[in-house]
Amino acid sequence: MIGRMASPAPVSETDESRFLISDLCDLLESYLDTEQVREIYRAYLFGAEAHEGQHRVSGEPYIYHPIAVARILAEMHMDPESIIAGMLHDVIEDTGTPKEVVTSEFSEEVAELVDGVSKLTQIKFESQAEAQAENFRKMMLAMVRDIRVIMVKLADRLHNMRTLGVMRGDKRRRIARETLDIYAPIANRLGMNQIRLELEDLGFAALYPMRYRVLNEAVKRARGNRKEILNKIESAIQQRMQQELIRCRLLSRQKHLYSLYKKIRDRVGSFNEVFDVYAFRIIVDNVDTCYRVLGMMHSLYKPVPGKFKDYIAIPKANGYQSLHTVLFGPYGVPIEVQIRTDDMERVAESGIAAHWLYKSSDKGSGNNAQARAREWLRKLLEMQSHAGNSLEFLENVKIDLFPDEVYVFTPAGDILELPRGATAVDFAYAVHTDVGNTCIASKVDRRLAPLRTPLLNGQTVEVITATGAHPNPAWLNFVTTAKARSNIRHYLKNLQNDEAIELGRRMLDKALHNLQSSLAEIGAEQFAGLMEECGFEDRDTLYADIGLGNRMAMLVARRLVPQEEGSEEKPAETGNSKPLAIRGTEGMVVHFARCCRPIPGDAIVGFISTGRGLVIHTEGCNNLSDFRSRPDKWIDVEWQPDIEGEFSAEIRVDVTNQKGVLATIAAEISEAGSNIENVSIEERDGLDTSMNFTVTVRDRQHLARVMRCIRKLPSVMRIIRSKN
């Protein structure tokens, strides 16, 4: 049997207008019982009354839209509750009907589905992006509770896209962009291929109408020249199947416009190179036959090396299963062949909807797609709990929606699926959050490899962990999975909060010391009054606010130790006012200014920066003049006597331009126990060169030793420490 797989034809506004509630009931009666159809009709009457007097932008009565959404759900053979929710999906949001009324009229289940799709209209947001992100977050959390929420939302979005032409240009483009960025990828992630393809082509036409028209005309012209070779390939495949007595369905696939556009845009090739690929799908009875047919195809036409993919043994994240291969066809044209069973075809086209659409004959494939979808939703819930706000959550979900899979093995032989470009850190977080948080090194195929190494298909990855290790902020520069990114950010936020609490406590204690008091002398009643006045839940919240520079320690201290009326403030006696000791290990709330790069041994001052904490400068820093007008922001600081750790310093070295001079200086720096963080070179007149090094040192004495080692080299003319 040979057939053509045509693109889903967009339904026009005129066609939709003719599809009335009677047509919907006829469709529903094909798979639901009479009582269930009556309940859906009652939902139609309820919705029609609620939307009475409302019209769409096209001018038609609003109720046509819910009927069309219910129709899309009915075509997927969704359950009655989903179709009722589709019929009522806008009543809470657009008509003011309370959720409680929907519950009493129908059921709690229906009301939850409708509420999950409804936007947060009662909350005012600072921006359109924030409103979009928060509404998306609400929908996704409802989707975690009941996966049918996203089915209703996708049906709603599909009908909106079919009727998008009546909207004004800017709104049309915004909705199309949102569809291509979020809803089409979600449909793909859930394996709903038919809906995904239609959303993509409709979004493409709305967002880039001129590009769509040009590409569509080019495809129509090119198809006329392909019939002869297409028929020749079909006949050869069909004849081979008959020789081997294999029953199958042979379908020739047409590439969709948006898919063609993306390949051309991403410079995969020109239009002719991309379009001149002949694609076929062979559908057979069982898995064993799939592999037999694969062998026949490879004997009929030579396979292209490296282009075979077995998604039956290792399914995609959305449950998709198939064998893919590329062959050298007649005249050297490439032929793409997909081989799968009927059950795999159902899941490939309908995804999680196959659970409802083919419930009577389903043999587990639809349930498998649903299980994978629920696993994805579980990961979304974990990401949501770690996201700081809705915009960050939306960013993480977008990252997760565009995977190009890589399959790697654990040391035990288990397979993990990761997006292309994933690193060992992504792998570690995919195994478990605690493994990711404590990883320090990795082995790829039993050899040590940097944590940032991109992983390839088939590699075996082992993660080395250490107790007490923690995520490195630099990991955010190369991780690709949303789970890794959200967990690293979550850890760093908690780390900054802990460091801010400790710094704030020390700053407040120092301020109290200047008022001849201390934290130990402040009673619980004094703190309780301050907590109530400032709206803080506990002392840690107050300390964190001080440590981050949002509240001045001296003002808080004066509130805790009020001066008697008429008396002058009595600061601590000279010599008793002790500067705040800087340990160098305060982390993310104490920053060392890049303009002067202070190191232990330098005379230093501290400047409180709102939201960042304490910024340390050297006393001679040129930039301090910009802050002289803010004496309330300054704080006396000093280095702790037994300070440990490494600090960055900059040195400038003028040398004669000789071969190997950079290597010689680098060797001397290493010999002096220092490390080079960065180096830049400025050629002055062809004879002399200036080299600027950023090196790590322990203190001023260590820096002096490094500079002495460099100065003794014959090629060095001058060396100074760079500041500002």
Q: Examine the domain organization and report whether 635 and 651 are in the same domain.
A: no
Does the structure show a pLDDT above 60 at 41?
yes
Q: What is the identity of the amino acid at 309?
A: K
108 part of a folded domain: yes
Does the structure show a pLDDT above 60 at 55?
yes
Q: Look at residue 376 in the predicted model and tell me its pLDDT.
A: 66
Q: Examine the domain organization and report whether 579 and 665 are in the same domain.
A: no
pLDDT range class, residue 545, cuts 50, 70, 90: confident
pLDDT range class, residue 411, cuts 50, 70, 90: confident
Q: Examine the domain organization and report whether 463 and 534 are in the same domain.
A: no
pLDDT range class, residue 204, cuts 50, 70, 90: very high
Q: Examine the domain organization and report whether 664 and 690 are in the same domain.
A: yes
Q: Examine the domain organization and report whether 502 and 439 are in the same domain.
A: no
Of 682, 681, 653, which is closest to residue 668 (Cα–Cα)?
A: 653
Mean pLDDT of 348-368: 57
Residue 324, classed as helix, strand or coil, is: strand
Q: Examine the domain organization and report whether 664 and 698 are in the same domain.
A: yes
Mean pLDDT of 359-386: 57
Q: Are 64 and 90 in contact (CB under 8 A)?
A: no
Among the listed residues 79, 94, 109, 654, the single catalytic one is: 94
Does the structure show a pLDDT above 80 at 588?
no
CB atoms closer than 10 angstroms to residue 62: 18
Does the structure show a pLDDT above 90 at 516?
no
Does the structure show a pLDDT above 80 at 587?
no
Q: Examine the domain organization and report whether 550 and 667 are in the same domain.
A: no
Q: Which of 107-121, 192-206, 285-299 has the lowest mean pLDDT?
A: 107-121
DSSP one-letter string for 614-646? EEEEETT-GGGGGGTT-GGGEE-EEE-TT--S-
Mean pLDDT of 422-436: 90
Does the structure show a pLDDT above 70 at 689?
yes
Residue ending a domain, among 119, 153, 174, is: 119
Mean pLDDT of 537-547: 77
Q: Look at residue 636 in the predicted model and tell me its pLDDT.
A: 79
Q: Ramachandran region of residue 245, left (φ > 0), alpha (ψ -120 to 50) or beta?
A: left
What is the Cα–Cα distance from 593 to 614, expressed in whole angstroms?
10
Q: Are 410 and 431 in contact (CB under 8 A)?
A: yes
What is the Cα–Cα distance from 339 to 241, expressed in whole angstroms?
13
717 beta partners: none
656 beta partners: 688
What is the Cα–Cα distance from 293 to 254, expressed in whole angstroms?
21
Q: Examine the domain organization and report whether 49 and 115 are in the same domain.
A: yes
Residue ending a domain, among 321, 341, 361, is: 341
Does the structure show a pLDDT above 70 at 48?
yes
Q: Look at residue 283 in the predicted model and tell me its pLDDT.
A: 93
Give the helix ranges, DSSP H, for 365-481. 365-386, 390-400, 424-431, 433-437
Q: Examine the domain organization and report whether 517 and 439 are in the same domain.
A: no
190 part of a folded domain: no
Q: Ramachandran region of residue 464, left (φ > 0), alpha (ψ -120 to 50) or beta?
A: beta
- pLDDT: which is higher, 566 or 104: 104
Mean pLDDT of 321-329: 89
What is the Cα–Cα distance from 373 to 317, expressed in whole angstroms?
8
What is the Cα–Cα distance from 299 to 169, expressed in whole angstroms?
53
Residue ending a domain, among 294, 314, 341, is: 341
Q: Examine the domain organization and report whether 507 and 462 are in the same domain.
A: no
Helix (H) or strand (E) holding 327: strand 323-328
Catalytic residue list contains 93: yes
pLDDT range class, residue 274, cuts 50, 70, 90: low
Query: What is the tens place of the pLDDT at every residue in 213-222?
Result: 988 888 877 7
Q: Are 52 and 39 in contact (CB under 8 A)?
A: no
Residue 455, domain CATH: 3.10.20.30
Of 502, 488, 678, which is closest to residue 590 (Cα–Cα)?
A: 502
Q: Look at residue 386 in the predicted model and tell me its pLDDT.
A: 58
Q: Examine the domain organization and report whether 472 and 581 are in the same domain.
A: no
358 part of a folded domain: no
Give the helix ranges, DSSP H, for 515-617. 524-534, 539-547, 553-560
585 part of a folded domain: yes
Of 413, 434, 436, which is closest to residue 425 (Cα–Cα)?
A: 436
Does the structure show a pLDDT above 90 at 497?
no
Residue 242, classed as helix, strand or coil, is: helix
Does the structure show a pLDDT above 60 at 127?
no
Q: Examine the domain organization and report whether 543 and 632 are in the same domain.
A: yes
Among the listed residues 13, 60, 79, 93, the single catalytic one is: 93
The rounded mean pLDDT for the chain is: 79
- pLDDT: which is higher, 518 or 686: 518
Q: Are 354 and 369 in contact (CB under 8 A)?
A: yes
Q: Which of 142-146, 190-194, 294-298, 655-659 has the lowest mean pLDDT?
A: 142-146
625 part of a folded domain: yes
Catalytic residue list contains 632: no
Q: Look at residue 295 in the predicted model and tell me its pLDDT.
A: 92
Q: Are 130 and 176 in contact (CB under 8 A)?
A: no
pLDDT range class, residue 292, cuts 50, 70, 90: very high
What is the Cα–Cα distance from 319 to 315, expressed in whole angstroms?
6
SS3 content of the chain, % helix, strand, coil (to 5): 50, 15, 30
What are 706's two structure tokens? 């490094």
Q: What is the pTM of this model?
A: 0.59
Q: Look at residue 21 in the predicted model and tell me its pLDDT.
A: 86
Q: Look at residue 512 in the predicted model and tell me its pLDDT.
A: 80
Residue 578, classed as helix, strand or coil, is: coil
Does the structure show a pLDDT above 50 at 121?
no
- pLDDT: which is higher, 187 or 609: 187
Our count of domains for the chain comes to 5
What is the span of the domain harbouring residue 27?
Answer: 13-119
Q: Look at residue 184 in the predicted model and tell me its pLDDT.
A: 87
Q: Which of 282-286, 381-385, 433-437, 700-704 has the lowest mean pLDDT?
A: 381-385
Q: Look at residue 4 in the predicted model and tell me its pLDDT.
A: 41
